[in-house]
Chains A and B, each alone.
Chain A
Amino acid sequence: MKGVSGMGKKILIIDDNEVDLLIVKRYLSRAGYNEIISAGNADEGIKKVEQERPDLIILDTLLLSSNGFEVCQLIREKYNKTNPKIIIITGSIDAVDAVKARKTGADDYCAKTSDCVPLLEAVKKLI
């Protein structure tokens, strides 16, 4: 089973929307991912990447003082190209830009939905 290989992997979610954060966390842990950490803004997120060394980062496109694309580029510049894996997610039509996500180094890109189906699929593919 694909999901099993991802268990025991550490996932970091960077999103400034607390409710969205909770929803994503809940669905991931339901899917069996038990090491989930989160950050409410870009700075905290970058700090946690350094401290926790996650295997996968889930990044929201819209962050209070920054945006997901910028954070993605920063992480890619600082660490190597394939690790950690990065998924950029968006809940806003205005911020839908998968080309930009790929160009800044994201591995995948998907919509943020209340059932997290697209996200879970993307996570399973990567870890």
Chain B
Amino acid sequence: MEDKTKEELIEEMRVLKTRIADIQDLECKYKSAEIELKKAKEELEVETWGLAKTNEAIKFIYKELDKKNKELQTLDKLKTNFISTASHELRTPLTTIIESISQVLDEIHGKITAEQREFLSICLEDVDRLSRLVNDLLDISKIEAGRFKLTKQQVDIVSLAKMVSVLFHPKAKSIGLELRENFCSQTAMAYVDKDSVIRVFTNLISNALKFTDKGYIEILVMDKPTCVECCISDTGRGISEEDMPRVFGEFEEFGNREGVREKGTGLGLSICKRIIELHQGEIWAESTLNKGTKFIFTLPKYTENKIQEE
């Protein structure tokens, strides 16, 4: 063995001390890393647990929503069936009442006094309204139940509009309104269910007559390249912006109803919308308060291959 000098030994000691310090430092770092790792592991555990629980909860809530949804659908069906049955039951006696009052008013069974006539007329008017309401309800429930069948055929909307318009001429004249017709072409062939389109025209025109005090009502039919567009416009009291979103809602009657000549059922526009939608058409309203309202709707055009499509 070689003898080391004192200096050499001191030097070795110094090196060793630094190494020990380095090792201690490393040990310290390792320990804190271990603590951090443990913390991270714990946090990860919480996150994993949380995600699993969250997943489970979402699954249960979806199941719950699905159950509620099915319950609501059943209730909705029950409601539709109830309305349809009730409407049927209501319609029968109403027809009898209307017929009987009409016979008395027509003096088939003897003369009546002016006062009796007045009261009976009030009765008839309200029974008539009730009857319209029941009919509208029946239609709505039929549409909702998917039992409203369209019998589509080739229909000329211009002549259909003319025919409906003629029916309203006497009424318009009696309240001092002009009924204008504006047909952009000789014919406008559409592929629709005739009766229900007549219903839409009738509803919209009688609405326009109800809400217009002076001016005119215009029926416009345009044969467009992709559809037949119809517009019933009036110079009536208009619909306010805030009422606009409720226009096609059920049982919605709004705005200033003072002086409105005839009470509605609140279902007419809703039925119009449903009929147009059943035809894959669109219906919308444009209005300025106190200036007038436009109801515009589109109907599918008649083409040779229309029938083949179905």
Partner of A98, one of B54, B63, B64, B67: B54
Q: Does chain A have a CB within 8 A of B51?
A: yes
Cα A97 to Cα B63 in complex, Å, equals 18
Question: Does A1 make an interface contact (CB < 8 A)?
Answer: no
In the complex the two chains form, is B46's CB within 8 Å of A93's CB?
A: no
Residue B61 lies at the interface, judged by CB distance under 8 Å to chain A: yes
Please tell me which one of the listed residues A91, A110, A113 contacts residue B53 in the complex, with CB atoms under 8 A apart. Answer: A110
Q: Which residues of A contact B67 (CB under 8 A)?
A: 114
Interface check B60, CB cutoff 8 A = yes
Please state if A111 and B46 are interface contacts (CB–CB under 8 Å): no
Q: Which residues of B contact A90 (CB under 8 A)?
A: 57, 61
> Are A99 and B56 neighbours in the complex by a CB distance under 8 Å?
no
* Contact present for A98 and B61 (CB under 8 Å): no
Q: Which residues of B contact A91 (CB under 8 A)?
A: 61, 64
The answer to whether B49 and A98 touch across the interface, beta carbons within 8 angstroms, is yes
A116 CB to closest chain B CB (Å) equals 11
Chain B 34-73, CB within 8 Å of chain A: the 1/0 string?
0000000000001101111110111111111001000000
Task: State whether the Cβ of A8 lies closer than 8 Å to any Cβ in chain B.
Answer: no
Of residues 53 to 98 in A, which have CB atoms within 8 Å of B's CB atoms?
A: 90-93, 96-98
Does A110 contact B54, Cβ atoms closer than 8 Å? no
**A98 touching B60 by the CB < 8 A rule?**
no
Instruction: Decide: A113 and B60 in contact? CB cutoff 8 A.
Output: yes
Flag if B50 contacts A101 (CB, 8 Å). yes
The answer to whether A96 touches B58, judged by C-beta atoms less than 8 angstroms apart, is yes
- In the bound complex, residues from chain B placing their C-beta under 8 Å from that of A111 are 56-61, 64
CA distance A93 to B52 in the complex (A): 15
Give a binary string over A95-127; 1 marks a CB under 8 Å from any B CB, 0 the rest. Answer: 011111111000011111110001000000000
Measured between C-beta atoms, what is the minimum distance from B69 to chain A in Å? 13
Q: Which residues of A contact B57 (CB under 8 A)?
A: 90, 96, 98, 109-111, 118
Shortest distance in angstroms between A34's beta carbon and chain B's nearest beta carbon? 26
Q: How far is the CB of A109 from chain B (nearest CB, A)?
A: 5
A111-B56, A118-B56 in contact; A99/B64 too (CB < 8 A)? no
- Which of A99, A103, A112 is in CB contact (< 8 Å) with B51? A99
Residue among A96, A110, A112 with the most chain B CB within 10 A?
Answer: A96
What residue of chain B has the Cβ atom nearest to residue A89's Cβ?
A: B57
Interchain nearest-CB distance for A119 vs B (Å): 10
B67-86 interface bits toward A, Cβ cutoff 8 Å, 1 = contact, 0 = none = 10000000000000000000
Judge whether A93 and B58 touch: CB under 8 Å.
yes
A94 to B51 Cα, complex, angstroms = 15
Q: Beyond A93-B62, A99-B51, A111-B56, list 19 extra A-B contacts (CB 8 Å).
A: A92-B61, A93-B58, A93-B61, A98-B49, A98-B52, A98-B53, A99-B50, A102-B46, A103-B46, A108-B53, A109-B54, A110-B53, A110-B56, A111-B59, A111-B60, A112-B61, A113-B61, A113-B63, A118-B60
Sample 18 A-B pairs with CB under 8 A, ordered by A number.
Answer: A93-B62, A96-B58, A96-B61, A97-B54, A98-B52, A98-B53, A99-B54, A101-B50, A102-B49, A102-B50, A109-B50, A109-B57, A110-B53, A111-B56, A111-B57, A113-B63, A114-B67, A118-B60
